[in-house]
């Protein structure tokens, strides 16, 4: 049970499926990090090699590529989650997931738990960005469709819904297969960016190779620009869903006072309805056995229907 915008409850239906899927992806990645680290203790200092092995094994983007996705989507893993060791991140995920998806009471309010919630939806945003970058269509099993289902479930009267339906099925560069087939019947290739009629006439009349190359360059720029727009658009929907589900995260307002005057921090925390431990709670250090127990619990929560 978690304090949601509609009361003390847990997620269910499409919202729970989206949350569960994102947590599952994070758990797989974190567990593989642990396994690679434990299997190569003599190369613990060779972080570049281990990072490359992890990227290859998981199919995840490199740290540099991940930063690029962050810049495109505007979604960044919160420092209050990313700063901890892998074992501690797994503990945070288990503590949050057990309450958001099940009957376990929510933990005391703390910045680390709010940041963990955000980190899970940042994972959703990154997965959607990868779908768009790989030109994967919107399908029932896609992350974009899962996000739309969750958003519709949480906000059935939201004014964005009608626009979302039109945009996601007709303009997104990764179209649903049925829409793509319809467009091809009318001579439009959904794999190619739009080129205006003037450029098209030039090509049909035998434009020079330089002109053709310039047109191709413009087309690629247009495609890249449209793709960036969609990264940002889906990130906006993700952020909107988080706000509609969990409300404002207090730690954003408190963070500015954390390292300042303790009296002022205490005043701000009191005004927000939380105590001084809100910014002081940290995930515990975990032994290998404790971490395995945490992973087992997470897998039961995430894969319970599989």
Q: What is the pTM of this model?
A: 0.78
pLDDT in tens, the chain (306 residues): 999 999 999 999 999 999 999 999 999 999 999 999 888 755 545 555 555 555 545 445 544 455 555 555 568 899 999 999 999 999 999 999 999 999 999 999 999 999 999 999 999 999 999 998 888 888 889 999 999 899 989 988 776 665 555 455 545 656 556 655 655 665 555 555 433 334 444 444 454 565 555 555 545 666 666 667 778 888 888 999 999 999 999 998 888 888 888 899 999 999 989 988 999 999 999 999 999 999 999 999 998 765
Give Cβ neighbours of residue 199 (< 8 Å, ≥ 6 apart).
215, 218
Give Cβ neighbours of residue 124 (< 8 Å, ≥ 6 apart).
18, 22, 143, 147, 238
Q: What was the pLDDT predicted at 166?
A: 47
| CA distances in angstroms from 56 to 49, 59, 62, listed in the order given | 11, 5, 9
CA 150-155-159 angle, 5° bins = 120
**CB-based contact 237:164 (threshold 8 Å):** yes
The conformation of residue 84, written as its DSSP 8-state character, comes to S
Give Cβ neighbours of residue 278 (< 8 Å, ≥ 6 apart).
109, 110, 111, 250, 251, 254, 269, 272
Q: What was the pLDDT predicted at 234?
A: 86
**CB-based contact 153:15 (threshold 8 Å):** yes
Per the rule left: phi > 0, alpha: psi between -120 and 50, beta: everything else, 74 is left
3-class DSSP state of 13 = helix
Would you tell me how many other CB atoms lie within 10 Å of the CB of residue 202?
Answer: 16
Note the maximum CA span of the chain.
Answer: 75
């Amino acid at each position: 049970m978690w304090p949601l915008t509609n009361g003390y409850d847990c997620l269910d239906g499409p919202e729970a499926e989206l949350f569960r899927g994102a947590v599952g992806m994070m758990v797989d990645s974190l567990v593989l990090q642990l396994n690679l680290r434990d299997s190569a203790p003599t190369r613990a200092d060779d972080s570049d090699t281990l990072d490359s092995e992890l990227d290859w094994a998981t199919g995840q983007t490199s740290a540099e590529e991940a930063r690029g996705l962050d810049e495109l989507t505007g979604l960044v893993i919160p420092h209050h989650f990313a700063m901890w060791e892998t074992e501690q991140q797994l503990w945070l995920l288990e503590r949050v997931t057990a309450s958001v998806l099940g009957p376990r009471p929510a933990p005391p309010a703390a910045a680390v738990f709010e940041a963990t919630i955000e980190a899970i939806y940042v994972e959703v945003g990154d997965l959607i960005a990868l779908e768009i970058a790989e030109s994967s269509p919107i399908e029932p099993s896609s992350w974009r469709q899962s996000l739309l289902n969750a958003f519709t479930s949480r906000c059935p009267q939201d004014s964005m819904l009608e626009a979302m339906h039109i945009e996601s099925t007709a303009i997104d560069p990764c179209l649903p297969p049925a829409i793509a087939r319809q467009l091809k019947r009318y001579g439009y290739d959904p794999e190619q960016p739009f080129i205006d009629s003037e450029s098209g006439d030039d090509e049909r009349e035998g434009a020079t190779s330089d002109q053709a190359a310039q047109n191709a360059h413009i087309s690629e720029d247009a495609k890249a620009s449209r793709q960036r727009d969609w990264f940002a658009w889906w990130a906006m929907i993700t952020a909107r869903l988080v706000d509609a589900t969990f409300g404002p995260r207090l730690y954003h307002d408190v963070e500015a006072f954390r390292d300042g005057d303790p009296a002022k921090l205490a005043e701000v925390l009191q005004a927000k309805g939380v105590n001084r431990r809100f910014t002081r709670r940290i995930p515990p250090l975990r032994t290998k056995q404790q971490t395995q127990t945490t992973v087992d619990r997470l897998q039961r929560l995430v894969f319970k229907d599989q």
